[in-house]
Amino acid sequence: MKPSAIKAYMQDHLALYIFVSVLFLIGVVFGAVMVNALSLDQKQELGRHLNYFIQNVDDGSLLGAHQEQSFRQTLGLHIKWLVLIWLLGLSVVGLPLVFVLDFLKGVLVGFSVGYLTAQYAWKGMLFSFVSVAPQNVIVIPALLIASVAATHFSLQLVKTRFQHRRGFVAQSFWRYTGTTVFLGVILAGVSLYEGFLSPYVMKWIAPMLLV
């Protein structure tokens, strides 16, 4: 894409990017605050599950055959999320749910990082940096781009509904679908990292949390 085309694209979509990014950030803050709202029993239950997971990371249980399973599960989750955004973008009615998904993604990230930090202080922050941050540096922008594409396409449907410009709608649909497929390929690459490389990185940090 030419620099001029990129500039024009950003000018046309900047407001949408700001909107979905703010929704995501609000979700992150909300997720972090939710950690403080947990009861003592809930914190202890989550702590047991987290300790079990970290022990599995430390003893290498997540390596070998488990890595392929982790890759498939992670890929499936990312693709399902992406396809859901794509489907919701095909109708004006489903558009608000795209924004809900952006907010929920922020909640998940905020809660994960917030709980690890609350449970293990700076060690939890370090663990979240190697276990949560690397893939989300790509996953989050990809999902936000998908959300903007879905919003733009849905708004285009509203604009052209009474103009009988079927060719224009078809062209926008294939561009929208092509963007989604491209993002799916990127998320597949991220899933490879999460499934096959991330366990080794987490294994390096895990002993610090078990001390």
pTM score over 0.85:
yes
Q: What is the pLDDT of residue 59?
A: 84
Residue 124, Cβ neighbours under 10 Å: how many? 19
DSSP string, 48-73: HHHHHHHHHHHTTTTSTHHHHHHHHH
CB 153 within 8 A of CB 87: no
Q: What is the pLDDT of residue 144?
A: 96
Residues 6+ apart with CB under 8 A from 96: none
Cα end-to-end distance, the chain, whole Å:
51
Q: Which of 59, 53, 79, 66 is nearest to 196 (CA)?
A: 66
- The low-confidence residues of the chain, meaning pLDDT below 70, are 1-6, 162-168, 211
Find the domain containing 39 and state its range: 3-210
> Residue type for 185, please?
V
The secondary structure element, H or E, covering residue 148 is helix 133-160
| Euclidean distance between CA atoms 81 and 23, whole angstroms | 17
Q: What is the pLDDT of residue 19?
A: 95
What is the radius of gyration, based on Cα positions, of the chain?
20
Residue 94, φ and ψ in degrees, nearest 5: -85, -5
pLDDT tens digits, residue range 40-68?
A: 898 889 989 888 888 888 887 777 778 88
Tally the domains of the chain: 1
CB 179 within 8 A of CB 146: yes
Residue 128, Cβ neighbours under 10 Å: how many? 20
Residues 6+ apart with CB under 8 A from 23: 99, 102, 103, 106
Q: Read off the tokens for 17.
A: 């990017």
Residue 63, φ and ψ in degrees, nearest 5: -95, 175
Q: What is the pLDDT of residue 211?
A: 59
| Euclidean distance between CA atoms 103 and 27, whole angstroms | 5
Eight-state DSSP code of residue 193: I
Q: What is the pLDDT of residue 208?
A: 82
Q: What is the pLDDT of residue 57?
A: 84
